[in-house]
Structure 1
Amino acid sequence: MPDASFLDLPSLAQHLRTELQTKKSVLIYAYNGTGKTRLSTEFKNLGKVVSAEGETTEQDTLYFNAFTEDLFSWDNDLANDRERVLKINSDSRFFAGLGELEMDNRIRPLLNRYADFDFKIDTTEWEVSFSRDVEAAGATTTVEDIKVSRGEENIFIWCFFLAIVQLVLDGAEAYNWVKYIYIDDPISSLDENNAVMVAHHLAQMLKDAPDRLRVVVSSHHVLFFNVLCNEMKKPRKYFLNRQTQADGHAFAVRETDSTPFLYHLASLVELHEAQKAGALYTHHFNMLRRVMEQTACFFGYAKWDECIKPEADDPNQTVYKRVIDLMSHGDYSLYEPREMMPENKDHLRTVLKQFITLHPFNQALFPEDTK
């Protein structure tokens, strides 16, 4: 499919549903702040039927996003500081069949891939308690009612979701309403190793999904996204960005097959083309910093700004980091694209040219020298 642009997220969500009539899966890469979570919500809303009383009578999408994590909340037992539990929102259809389907036994083998704590689900009180075995003085004791870390909580919720996905794949009656699975950024609190493991496991689960089921996964995490691209069966692969255009279109997607596959390279190509056209916006500093952060990790630099390598006699050599820091934070973001001032355009062009020239990227990706 050629590149396409959309006025708003509902029209993009409808486009994805149309795509999924012929494709089993769609993968979307986008930077934070582009609208991934809102897109997943709009996609879900298109499958809802709401009665005159405002009650949802039908739906077709099982989704994982920031709202899924909000279905769980901590009761920290502030009075006694002992029995800390994770409360479950019993009103959500997400938990259909929780009591009857032995979710503990379904979640535990999934969780054991990533974590060393245990849990119990109380379907009467709708809460989860956690425990961990601790070794001391040669003996092992179990510490009950612990509060797990934010990352551990997120991985527990993710494994809870995966257990439900497996029920969908197995055709469980409690989830026979699911036609679409939409997953948005499940790995926000995971390290690189777990990101690979999560992506690999998810791809293995979904690659043999029945024909009745369609899948969308969106992420800002380059490594997670690329593992899915490599391991899922012929997905549609999109790069989503938000950019106000003259015709009013605010969102654009393009297939990754027409751009470099790794997204730090795609970002560099986009920056290179934007500076040649003079169409530089403040959010391009965000893109440049992101690419530098990834490059710094690859080369083992202690800090991302070690990728800035100005000439020894450059009078602005101390300015570049400050400008990138300023312009990639606060109000200067994708939420409200603003064209750069001429001075900042010159700064970005200078840093970009040095960055592309002094690092061993394939120069064929940049057919003309940056200005």
Structure 2
Amino acid sequence: MGDATTFTNLNALAEHLRHELENKKFVLLYAYNGTGKTRLSTAFKDLGKSINADGETNTRDTLYFNAFTEDLFLWDNDLANDSERKLKLNTNSSFFAGLESLEMDNRIRNLLNRYADFEFRIDTTSWEVVFDREFRVKKVGGADVGIDNADTGQGEGEDEYETRREETIKVSRGEENIFIWCFFLAIVELALDDDGTGPYNWVKHLYIDDPISSLDEHNAITVANHLAKLLKRPESRLKTVISTHHTLFFNVLCNELNNANKYFLSRDGATEGLLLHKTGDTPFFHHVAALAELYKADRDGRLYTHHFNMLRAILEKTASFHGYPNFSACIKRDAEDEDGILHTRLINILSHGNYSLYEPQEMLEENKRYFRKILHEFVHRYPFNPALFPNEPATAMNDAT
């Protein structure tokens, strides 16, 4: 993966990224959850702000999307009547500047139609969003039988159906996320089109951190392609940083934004700082980077509970590459298959804990032994480049045999 540049803290890295954007239009960062991506986006944004003596923001230059962006939208679930559900907007944020006069409904709708089938309406008087959805009802013997909007009714007479609308619904968490993402993209479009006189003329940089959580593969490709197409507009003057833990999303962006600087961001276990590895022109296979990081964590005696999550992800990607339906196929089995069954059960259990990546908990000694055995047998079973695993620790190998 090449030499790494070390940064003592997030502010130092944010300053470095700003310096890179003086000569580059795009910077792409891949990093695991818990590395500090969200805090890095905040540090980057703060460096572009000036504050007056009263603590008020005079100027800013970064429009950002991260976990805090989603917090600008808050549900009012109408607990009293359970009927008028609304998504409230935080009007104190500059994120919503000029919302009343910019026909945001239509701008968002054009984007949202790519991903979702629900409708919405923004009320700029009460600063809230209401959602609704159409569904079809089949008429059977005078009674209504509801069917979802995906049912085409093929084979039946069209006059046996009617369309109805359910109003003020609460959309799913995934649908809410995609709506907020499209809201952000609509603002990006406004910033891209701004001639210097509009409400987003202050935007010079975009910082996008993990735009949509839990993307499946199809949507990861769709969202990445759409985002890259938007950012590559010839008239665009904006400089952009995108950080993500989603491997496929990152690789699609690397291919679409092929002139971007591409990096793998990780924690420096020795100094508690940050390491920035340049991945080169070809996107790095980040499960290999994860494997090398796990190996180093074992070598340094710094094994934590969340490392089981990382190991499971590596096994799953390897199994998928080799055409197996389950990661257990990549675990070495003894003659009676006892270890294979045991190790599969251990990974299933220990990779689903509610572990904090910000306050990591060290593994129990017994779990360390199992972890080392699975890890080192996996490395020996598959022909990985031995240069990724220097100075193999004798204690770990003794435990693994």
TM-score range, shorter chain: 0.7 to 0.9
CA displacement at 1:143 relative to structure 2: 1.5
CA distance in 2, matches of 1:241, 1:116: 38
Q: Is the Cα–Cα contact under 8 Å of residues 251 and 283 in structure 2 kept in the other structure?
A: no
User: How is 1:157-176 mapped onto 2 (pairs within 5 angstroms)?
Assistant: 157-171=180-194, 173-176=198-201
Deviates more, 1:102-111 or 1:138-147: 138-147
What residue number does 1:120 align with? 121
Alignment of 1:80 onto 2:111: no
Residue from 259, 262, 274 that aligns with 1:237: 262
What residue number does 1:281 align with? 303
Deviates more, 1:261-270 or 1:146-155: 261-270
Residue from 274, 279, 284 that aligns with 1:261: 284
Q: 1:343 to 1:98 in 2, by over 3 A?
A: same
User: How is 1:3-152 mapped onto 2 (pairs within 5 angstroms)?
Assistant: 3-137=4-138, 138-152=161-175
CA displacement at 1:214 relative to structure 2: 0.8
Alignment of 1:215 onto 2:240: yes
Give the aligned residue type for 1:307.
Answer: C
Q: Is the Cα–Cα contact under 8 Å of residues 3 and 278 in structure 2 kept in the other structure?
A: yes
- Partner of 2:208, secondary structure, is strand
Alignment of 1:310 onto 2:333: yes
CA distance in 2, matches of 1:84, 1:39: 34
Give the aligned residue type for 1:255.
Answer: K
- Partner of 1:124, secondary structure, is coil
CA displacement at 1:9 relative to structure 2: 1.0
CA distance in 1, matches of 2:282, 2:314: 16
Q: Is the Cα–Cα contact under 8 Å of residues 111 and 159 in structure 1 kept in the other structure?
A: yes
Q: 1:274 to 1:148 in 2, by over 3 A?
A: closer
Q: Deviations over 1:6-32 (max 9, x none)?
A: 221111111111111111111111111
CA displacement at 1:160 relative to structure 2: 0.4
Q: Is the Cα–Cα contact under 8 Å of residues 286 and 333 in structure 1 kept in the other structure?
A: no
CA distance in 1, matches of 2:269, 2:387: 26
Q: 1:78 to 1:334 in 2, by over 3 A?
A: closer
Give the aligned residue type for 1:30.
Answer: A
Cα RMSD (Å) of the superposition? 3.0
What residue number does 2:215 align with? 190
CA displacement at 1:210 relative to structure 2: 4.6
User: How is 1:286-305 mapped onto 2 (pairs within 5 angstroms)?
Assistant: 286-298=309-321, 303-305=326-328
The number of aligned residues is: 367
CA displacement at 1:5 relative to structure 2: 1.3
Alignment of 1:199 onto 2:221: no
CA displacement at 1:340 relative to structure 2: 6.8
CA displacement at 1:284 relative to structure 2: 4.1
Alignment of 1:179 onto 2:204: yes
Larger Rg: 2
- Partner of 1:257, secondary structure, is coil
Alignment of 1:250 onto 2:249: no
TM-score (norm 1): 0.87
Q: 1:333 to 1:82 in 2, by over 3 A?
A: closer
Q: 1:209 to 1:336 in 2, by over 3 A?
A: farther
CA distance in 1, matches of 2:222, 2:283: 24
Residue from 145, 153, 169 that aligns with 2:176: 153
- Partner of 2:169, secondary structure, is coil
Q: Is the Cα–Cα contact under 8 Å of residues 258 and 281 in structure 2 kept in the other structure?
A: no
CA displacement at 1:328 relative to structure 2: 5.0
Q: 1:367 to 1:54 in 2, by over 3 A?
A: closer
CA displacement at 1:174 relative to structure 2: 1.0
Q: 1:5 to 1:209 in 2, by over 3 A?
A: farther
CA distance in 1, matches of 2:97, 2:37: 26
- Partner of 2:82, secondary structure, is coil
Q: Is the Cα–Cα contact under 8 Å of residues 85 and 130 in structure 2 kept in the other structure?
A: yes
Q: Is the Cα–Cα contact under 8 Å of residues 84 and 145 in structure 1 kept in the other structure?
A: yes
- Partner of 1:10, secondary structure, is helix
CA distance in 2, matches of 1:256, 1:293: 22
Q: Is the Cα–Cα contact under 8 Å of residues 281 and 337 in structure 1 kept in the other structure?
A: no
What residue number does 2:358 align with? 335
Deviates more, 1:16-25 or 1:197-206: 16-25
- Where does structure 1 lack aligned partners over 5 or more consecutive residues? none
Q: Deviations over 1:107-131 (max 9, x none)?
A: 1110000000111111111011111
CA displacement at 1:344 relative to structure 2: 5.4
CA distance in 1, matches of 2:235, 2:258: 13
Q: 1:79 to 1:298 in 2, by over 3 A?
A: farther
Q: 1:134 to 1:304 in 2, by over 3 A?
A: same
Deviates more, 1:291-300 or 1:321-330: 321-330
CA distance in 2, matches of 1:79, 1:342: 52
